[in-house]
Amino acid sequence: MLWYWLFAIVLFMLFQSVTDFMTTSPLAYSEFKQLLHGGKVNEVTVGETSVSGTLKAGGLDAILPRERAESVKCNADGLCPFNTVRVTDPDLVKDLDAAHVRYVGQQHSEWMSMLVSWALPLLLLFWMWGGLARRGGVAAGLFDVGKSRARVYMQSKTGVSFNDVAGIDEARDELMEIVEFLKNPQRYRRLGGRIPKGVLIVGPPGTGKTLLARAVAGEAGVPFFSISGSEFVEMFVGVGAARVRDLFVQAQKVAPCIIFIDELDALGRARGVTGVVGGYNEQEQTLNQLLVEMDGFDTNKGVIILGATNRPEILDPALLRPGRFDRHIALDRPDLKGRQKILQVHARQVSLAPDVDLAAVAAKTPGLAGADLANLINEAALLAARRGKERVERSDLDEAVDRVIAGMEKRSRLINPMEKETVAFHEAGHAVTAEFRALADRVAKVSIIPRGIAALGYTQQLPTEDRYLLKKSELLDRLDVFLGGRVAEEIVFGDLSTGAQNDLQMATELARHMVAHYGMSERLGLATFEQPPSAPYVASGQSTAYSERTARLIDAEIARLLDEAHQRVRTTLREQRALLDALARQLLDHETVERDALQALVRAYAAGASEPGAKMPQSAAAQAGR
């Protein structure tokens, strides 16, 4: 309001001075002097820079040239207001006295000129600045420096409830307890228990950490301050710490409430290890402020801090000790059941055809996180829409799975027939090997449609169940499947291609793990030989925790494992050459072979195996004799 008044006053005065100026006639100083000597001046106000007053009307043209005299405007009472710019004239007063004119001096109006010369421009500047800030321009950031930009979500705004979170039931239950506390604090305090201050949600990206926190806010029905760690880390020094302080002040005013700090690792990185020289101090200050604030408030007021991170290992230990983020909730990628439930949650938003089986989709997507599954359903809906369908059908979902898992199909990428044949035999090699290894995952689909950036084809294997422990025999079978593609090329073409690079890399990696980490080599025994994390500044001589001799032994054992696998696969594929050829031919014809078709081929062409998918007994292999 004050601003409005000031503005109005200034406007008024501006207006007045302009009208003043308009109604008085400007004269040259010489003209004024002539009129003064001619006795035509009635009254004079002598200002610091100007002389103004009134003239007597009539007979002015006797003194001034005609057009000048006519330019003088006169009032009804016979007086003509005038003004003139004052020049240095020491005789002015003497002349005024001589002409017997009444004259007054004018006190210089300080505040008026002050107002006009700087208050006004300043006012204008502020006004424009304010306009910019409201529109969120560059100046916006300058205005609320230090004001926390935490957004307050109320229950109605998050619109997320625990019903939208699926497949992570333990985490959900634990957070429900927090919600209970916020709704009914007395019950928990009755026995003198201390409510946890901070709860840290830990898990890989896309597993629903942010979603879960938003669901807590939605369920608890209390104010929810949400800010991301990177928002704290600002360019201006000292601002991050000010933000933290401000956030806690705000929160305590509206308690009970929840403060949610997403991506906590951006802010809570362990002190003293950040490599950035400039950001170092600033970030440390912000973190210190957070620690201070977390100590300083009393949970019984009902402020609970939720944090989320996917890199708990880099957090400062001080953040994790009791009294701060002392409760940890771990999220993991969902298992088969979890995936199915998450798919169901997201499928509520699309209309599915009756032939869709979400359990089957869940079975095809091991390792995908919630975000990937949400994306998968969305992709399927977009595909169905593009094809003008009324509902999302099974084929759309199948294609969406392929897209999400293996990248986009690139039908447009032309491969020459020779390459296509190589790829067909390569993939057939993987598939056939997998079919004749009892412990390998079943092959769901073989395809030679190029996908993604590098893959020319792929063999999709489905684990029959989620696995947490793997036996040595299973790992050996897996090794065989990795090599299957390469060995098929070797047998069929007698030549090698570059296409197996990724397979060989995975096989080598697996063999190294078996030897050096899992203690699966008799010659090395039970010791594990972890590679220390690569540190560029450690001299290379110190980088291994074992001797030269052991290193050579490890290499030899890896080579042995790979070599033995190579022999085994060669035997299998030589025996199953008919099947290999048939599958490759079918791939060249149809590009994709599904499980059913593959099983039919196995039944028709497999040599010596009475039961497809069973490991061939040694004697049967010998009988096959090819």
Q: How far is CA 202 from CA 10, 206, 306, 468, in A?
A: 60, 11, 11, 20
Binding region for Zn ion (CB under 5 A): 485, 503
In whole angstroms, how close is the CB of 455 to ligand ADP at the nearest point? 26
Q: Is residue 211 at the binding interface for ligand ADP, with CB under 6 A as the rule?
A: yes
Q: What's the min distance (Å) between Cβ of 374 and Mg ion? A: 13
Q: What is the β-pairing status of strands 50-56 and 79-85?
A: antiparallel
Q: Which span (15-23, 209-217, 428-436, 495-503) binds ligand ADP, by CB under 6 A?
A: 209-217
The neighbour count for residue 318, using CB atoms within 10 Å, is 16
Residue type, position 279, single letter: G
Is 70 catalytic? The answer is: no
Q: Determine the Cα–Cα distance for residues 568 and 608; give it in Å rounded to an integer.
A: 16
Applying CB under 6 A, among 24, 83, 148, 207 the residue interacting with ligand ADP is 207
Q: Which is nearer to Zn ion, 299 or 459 (CB)?
A: 459
Distance CA 161, CA 145 (A): 34
Amino acid identity for residue 227 in this structure: I
Min dist CB 163 to ligand ADP, Å, is 10
Comparing CB distances to ligand ADP, the nearer of 203 and 450 is: 203
User: Which of ligand ADP, Zn ion, Mg ion, none lies near 503, with the C-beta cut-off 5 to 8 A by kind?
Assistant: Zn ion
> Can you read off the two tokens belonging to residue 63?
């003194």
Nearest residue to ligand ADP by CB is 370
Q: Which is nearer to ligand ADP, 206 or 485 (CB)?
A: 206
Q: Which residues pair with 350 in a beta bridge?
A: none
Q: Does 336 bind ligand ADP (CB under 6 A)?
A: no
- In one letter, which amino acid is 55? L
Tracing tokens 């990795």 back to the chain, one arrives at 482
Residue 459 Cβ vs Zn ion, minimum distance, rounded to whole Å? 7
Which of 165, 200, 315, 319: binder of ligand ADP (CB under 6 A)? 165
Binder of Mg ion out of 54, 210, 226, 309 (CB under 5 A): 210
10-30 burial, b at 16+ Cβ within 10 Å, e below that, comes to beebeeeeeeeeeebbebeee
Taking the least distance from each CB to ligand ADP, the nearer of 168 and 222 is 168
Tell me the C-alpha distance between 58 and 74, whole Å. 9
**H-type alpha helices, 365-469:** 370-386, 394-406, 417-435
Tell me the closest approach of the beta carbon of residue 343 to ligand ADP, in angstroms.
9
- Name the catalytic one among 31, 427, 489, 575: 427
Residues with Cβ within 8 Å of 533's Cβ and at least 6 positions away in sequence, in order, are none
Q: Name which of 53 and 203 has its Cβ closer to ligand ADP.
A: 203
Asked if 484 touches ligand ADP (CB under 6 A), the answer is no
Angle between the N-to-C axes of helices 548-575 and 577-590, in degrees from 0 to 180, rounded to the nearest 10: 80
Least distance to ligand ADP, CB of residue 388, Å: 27
Among 33, 40, 209, 269, which residue interacts with ligand ADP (rule: CB under 6 A)?
209
What part of residues 351-410 is at the interface with ligand ADP (CB under 6 A)?
A: 370-371, 374
Distance CA 363, CA 465 (A): 8
Q: Are 374 and 350 in contact (CB under 8 A)?
A: no
Catalytic center residues = 427
User: Which residues lie near ligand ADP (CB under 6 A)?
Assistant: 164-168, 203, 205-211, 308, 342, 345, 370-371, 374
